[in-house]
Structure 1
Amino acid sequence: MKILALDATSGACSVALYSNGQTTERFVQAERDHTQRLLPMVDEVLAEAQLGLSDLDAFAVSRGPGSFTGLRIAISCVQGLAFSADKPVVPVSSLAALALGARRAHPQWGGSPIVAMLDARMQQVYWGIYGIEMPNGSLISEAVQNPEQVLLSLSETKLTSTYFGAGPGWHYEALGKARAAELDLNALIHARDIAELAVPLYRAGEMVSAEALEPVYLRNEVTWQKRQKIRS
């Protein structure tokens, strides 16, 4: 199985190739120029593996939530590639990929739940809780909330085991009241984790056509406001 994954959800962009159990990646931490960086990175990864687009089984991309602009860049890029190659796309949760990357970076966290958070601006965060047995699915519905609402939601989930926190969304002072055992505020989303999460989804048939691929924003009013600005 060969899956090419792309991400530009946060302050980084990356491309990864999963090929028969092995994953290679190009990763650049950059707030801008994602549009100019992604396609050359795709070319590099494929050239290194001596593969063409036609050799792939599918593409994978972070479906969100995350930066509106970053999501649109990565999704548009994948749509173009998948359409030209006539291949399906596997949408993967950005938060699930963030959690998997943090688990990979911190093996000492073991199988404990990871609360992944991205800064949604406007004093809110995107967040979810991810266990080791079902890394693609949050233990609660992925949400956009302010820190106080997050604390209330965490108390209502009644997590009985130690949990860890990952992602820049944890920077809000109010979240210091949470009882996370350890935090990694520098955790970022990697395409390699999107690729690895895409493998079981592909096997389960959870893929879409390039035309049907849609981002998940969680905060619909942001989309509406941006569209209104564009129209005006």
Structure 2
Amino acid sequence: MNLLAVDTSSGQGSLALARDDGWCEMATLPGEWKSTTLHAEIARLLGLHGLKSRDLDGYAVANGPGTFTGLRIGLTAVKALAEVHGKHIITVSTLEVLAAAGRDTLPAQFSGGLAALLDARRGQIFGGLFRTEGSALLPVIPDCVCPLKIFLERVRAASCKELRFCAMELALFADAISQAGWNELSHLVVSTDLAGTLARMGIERLKQGMGLAAEAAEANYVRPSDAELFWKG
């Protein structure tokens, strides 16, 4: 099984080509990328391994929250390819991918909570809280947009026995997290190249029959108009 994963939910986009035998190769999108860049990078990554888009068995895409423009470009590209070739798409919350990437850095026995954070600008964050159960991540606080202080209060009320905060730009949130009473051991800096984690999740879910037809795959903006406004700053 060959799967292409696309994450364009933030300013730093990434792609991954993966197989169900565990092999995976990632590519980081260049700075100031745009729609034409994304299509060229997809073709380049596939070409490196002698593949065409018709050789893919499915797709995975981080469908938000994140930048309005980035999400639209990534989802549109994946939907077009899936529709042309009659393949299915796995959509995964960007916050869940962040939490999963953080989980991958922790010991196998970790069974606490993972709070995923993205900067939504203008004093807001995109946040979600997940509880680990084996290899699964179960939502405790659904994806939301709010001031960081309010999100931290909700996280505290959830009473996770162990907690890790997962973010690509954790320095933006570190002081507030510390002031709320959590020490630096709770901080997990996650790589901006999320596509590798997304690809693994996509293959697992595609095998479970969770794929969507192209027309059913939608973006998860959380609050579309606000999301675009926050990211423009």
Normalised to the residue count of structure 2, the TM-score between the two structures is 0.84
Q: How does 1:183-202 map to 2 (within 5 A)?
A: 183-185=187-189, 187-202=191-206
The alpha-carbon deviation at position 20 of structure 1 amounts to 2.3
Which residue matches 1:13? 13
Which residue matches 1:229? none
Which residue matches 1:230? none
CA deviations over 1:1-36 (Å, ceiling 9, x no partner):
221111111131111112122333333265521423
Aligned partner of residue 216 in structure 2, secondary structure: coil
State the alpha-carbon separation in 1 of the partners of residues 76 and 38 from structure 2.
11
For residues 178 and 75 of structure 1, do their structure 2 counterparts lie closer, same or farther at Cα, with a shift above 3 Å needed? farther
For residues 127 and 35 of structure 1, do their structure 2 counterparts lie closer, same or farther at Cα, with a shift above 3 Å needed? same
The alpha-carbon deviation at position 126 of structure 1 amounts to 1.1
Residue 27 (structure 1) aligned with residue 30 (structure 2): no
1:175 to 177, 202, 209: 177
State the alpha-carbon separation in 2 of the partners of residues 135 and 189 from structure 1.
21
Aligned partner of residue 211 in structure 1, secondary structure: helix
State the alpha-carbon separation in 2 of the partners of residues 121 and 174 from structure 1.
15
State the alpha-carbon separation in 2 of the partners of residues 135 and 30 from structure 1.
32
The alpha-carbon deviation at position 223 of structure 1 amounts to 6.2
Larger mean CA deviation between 170-179 and 141-150 belongs to: 170-179
The alpha-carbon deviation at position 127 of structure 1 amounts to 1.3
The percent of aligned pairs where both chains have the same amino acid is: 25
Which residue matches 1:62? 62
For residues 52 and 200 of structure 1, do their structure 2 counterparts lie closer, same or farther at Cα, with a shift above 3 Å needed? same
For residues 57 and 219 of structure 1, do their structure 2 counterparts lie closer, same or farther at Cα, with a shift above 3 Å needed? same
Aligned partner of residue 194 in structure 1, secondary structure: helix
The alpha-carbon deviation at position 220 of structure 1 amounts to 3.6
8 Å CA contact 2:102–2:189 kept in 1: the answer is no
Residue 143 (structure 1) aligned with residue 144 (structure 2): yes
Unaligned runs of 5+ in 2: none
8 Å CA contact 1:109–1:164 kept in 2: the answer is no
State the alpha-carbon separation in 2 of the partners of residues 4 and 80 from structure 1.
13
For residues 98 and 224 of structure 1, do their structure 2 counterparts lie closer, same or farther at Cα, with a shift above 3 Å needed? closer
The alpha-carbon deviation at position 222 of structure 1 amounts to 2.3
Aligned partner of residue 141 in structure 1, secondary structure: strand
RMSD: 2.6
State the alpha-carbon separation in 2 of the partners of residues 198 and 37 from structure 1.
23
For residues 11 and 53 of structure 1, do their structure 2 counterparts lie closer, same or farther at Cα, with a shift above 3 Å needed? same
Normalised to the residue count of structure 1, the TM-score between the two structures is 0.84
